[in-house]
Amino acid sequence: MKKWIVLILAAIFITLAFAPAAFAESAPPADFKIGSFTAVDAASHTATFVPSETGVPTTVAIDESINPADVKLDDKAMVSFSSTDGAEAATEITPMFLGLTRDKLIALLIVGLIGGLLSGFIGSGGAFVLTPAMMSLGAPGAVAVASNMCHKFPKAMVGTYKRFRYGQVDVKLGLVLAVSSIVGVQVGFQIQKWILDSWGSAGSDLYVSFVFVIILLVVGLFVFKDAMTMSKGDVKAKTPKLALRLQKIKIPPMIHFKKADVVISVWVTLPVGFFTGLLAATIAVGGFVGVPGMVYVIGATAMVASATELLIAFVMGMWGSVQWAMAGLVDVRLVLIILATSLVGVQLGALGTTYVKDYTIKLVMGTVMVIVAVSRGVKIPVYLDHLGIVSLDKSLAGALDALSFWTLIAALLTAGGIISAAMIKGIVRARVEEKEAAAAGSA
Amino acid sequence: MSKTAKKKPYLRALLLGALSAASYFYLFTHVNLVMEYFVKGGWYAALPILTALYFSVVHGSFASTILSIAGLQAAKGTGH
């Protein structure tokens, strides 16, 4: 066992060393500078810019498209430069850090709590709503992605620790899948880049939504149906047929995953990790493939799979965070505000798994996947409009955007509701049983 | 109550809570300084990463203690 873990850890480090762009979600953008403007000269369309990296004030030209009066002084901004006319000019200035009002603070705390609950329970989640939530509060996309990731890995670490103590994490399985998922992230990232170069950001959005809707609907409905079948009869978690068939393939090296209670060829695990990484790089929620993959392909229970997914999220998230932090994009205020409640949520979710049956985890997972798929599907006409394939009324596009965001919130609330109800029911039942046992003992 | 019930860890919660609150207070009262250095990139990336880890340990332990004071423990029969 120990030999295997050392071997797998070595593989992870080697893969990471040769994979500088291996991070979940997309790569940090490269064509910008972080800094602040200290003076603006409207007449000459120039400004004094102090890059954070060097701290040396330099005079830069401001593109004609930007009104010098709109340039805010002394605030950190992400500035894109382009040198199309021979001289380099600032073409885009995005304020980096949103002003925190009381309402924004409360919104972040609530989303953090329920997101944490969800990831403690099903191994992933929260991320799909936190990034859009931060963006809708005014954070630039890159800062939202970076801050989300930097909050995700410590949360996953705490969740992994808790569920490891409950005896649910298969460390070996998590590490094996982390190695292949890093490769998946690389490939996913290259596909994204190719699509972005060929069809621009609307094309990329359309591709991402398409993958989102198809995979989440198919896998989500399957998981949901399985959970419903299991909940009707008093069926104990059975190993799925596909996993049983795959376990019969004896191509060495065979690995014994003790906690998952599975002996399977390493070659079967590779595609599961690969697609987890591919999905993580594409739609930011690798767990929506990782957990069903571990259950239906490898043959682990949903309990072990969701716990092990937290370990994968920690490894991947930590590496991703390093990359984004090196680009200087993490807003640590957002990270810490979300952590304030998500660290409570993740432990509560982890605790909740000890009171429920395997199918409850599947039920929550299937439900969230289907609602998230709908949320993304709603936005497809908007991207088709951007690509000029259909023409959409502006107010309708705005309404679809809002509908998509609120559907995500609905997914989070529904999941939070199911988890809380199942947990309360489980705790009450356990206490009643305890009392009855005590009464029987003293009688 | 069962005989094995432990004393509730009030002192631990108080200490961890104070440490967590003080850390949050310190960071948010020095937010300009923090934001200056944390976004420099390169090796400065260690700052946000280590801060996130530090808070997850301190605040995470605090949250864990609060949950156990609230009587929210894992179901019996789990854990090792």
Reported as a single tens digit per residue, the pLDDT across A319-364 is 888 888 888 888 999 999 999 999 999 999 999 899 888 888 989 9
Position of tokens 């995500």? A408
Q: Are A306 and A237 a contacting pair, CB within 8 Å?
A: no
**Residues in chain B whose beta carbon is closer than 8 A to a beta carbon of chain A?**
2, 24, 27-28, 31, 34-36, 38-42, 44-49, 51-53, 55-56, 59-60, 63-64, 66-67, 72-76, 78-80
| Distance from C-alpha of A200 to C-alpha of A225, rounded to nearest angstrom | 37
The two structure tokens encoding residue A198: 């060929």
- Top residue of A23, A347, A429, A442 to mutate, by most chain B CBs within 10 Å, is A347
Pairing of strands A58-62, A87-95: parallel
Question: Over 50: is that where the pLDDT of A23 sits?
Answer: no
- Kindly state the tokens that stand for A165: 């103590």
Q: What is the pLDDT of residues A388-399, one digit of tens each?
A: 888 888 888 889
Q: Which of A166, A330, A343 sits opposite B48 (nearest CB)?
A: A330
Q: What pLDDT is attached to residue A346?
A: 94
Question: How far is the alpha carbon of B10 from chain A, nearest alpha carbon, in Å?
Answer: 17
Whether the pLDDT of residue B3 is over 50: the answer is: no
pLDDT for residue A157 is more than 90: yes
Q: What is the DSSP string of A168-228?
A: ---HHHHHHHHHHHHHHHHHHHHHHHHHHHHHHHHHHHHHHHHHHHHHHHHHHHHHHHHHH
Q: Which has the closest alpha carbon to A105: A354, A340, A262, A281?
A: A340
Angstroms from A52 CA to nearest CA on chain B = 6
* Residue-wise pLDDT tens digits, A248-273: 787 788 888 888 888 888 888 898 88
Confidence band (pLDDT; 50, 70, 90) for A113?
A: very high
What is the rounded average pLDDT of the residues B23-35?
90
**Beta carbons of A321 and B40 less than 8 Å apart:** no
- C-beta separation of A57 from A50 below 8 A: yes
Query: Which of B26, B31, B49 to probe the A interface (max A CBs under 10 A)?
Result: B49
Contacts of A71 (CB under 8 A, 6+ apart): A37, A40, A47, A62, A93
- The SS3 call for residue B76 is coil
Q: Output phi, psi for A253, to 5 deg.
A: -80, 135
Tell me how far CA of residue A228 lies from CA of A225, A422, B28, in angstroms.
5, 15, 47
Instruction: Give the separation between CA A338 and CA B52, rounded to whole angstroms.
Output: 11
Asked if residues A87 and A94 have their Cβ atoms less than 8 Å apart, the reply is no
Residues in A closer than 8 angstroms to B1, CB to CB, are none
pLDDT at residue A67, rounded to an integer: 85
Q: Which of A107-111, A155-159, A227-231 has the lowest mean pLDDT?
A: A227-231
Mean pLDDT of A110-139: 84
Higher pLDDT, A203 or A149: A149
**Looking at the predicted structure, is the pLDDT value of residue B50 above 90?**
yes
- This complex has an ipTM of 0.90
Which pLDDT score is estimated for A8? 65
Q: How many CA atoms lie within 13 A of B52 on its CB side?
A: 34
Residue A22: its pLDDT value, please? Answer: 40
| pLDDT score at A4 | 63
The arithmetic mean of pLDDT across residues A21-35, rounded, is 60
